[in-house]
Chain A
Amino acid sequence: ELKVEQNPLFLSMQEGKNYTIYCNYSTTSDRLYWYRQDPGKSLESLFVLLSNGAVKQEGRLMASLDTKARLSTLHITAAVHDLSATYFCAVGDSGGGADGLTFGKGTHLIIQP
Chain B
Amino acid sequence: AQSVAQPEDQVNVAEGNPLTVKCTYSVSGNPYLFWYVQYPNRGLQFLLKYITGDNLVKGSYGFEAEFNKSQTSFHLKKPSALVSDSALYFCAVRSRTNAGNMLTFGGGTRLMVKP
Q: Do A and B interact?
A: no
Q: Which residues of B contact A (CB under 8 A)?
A: none
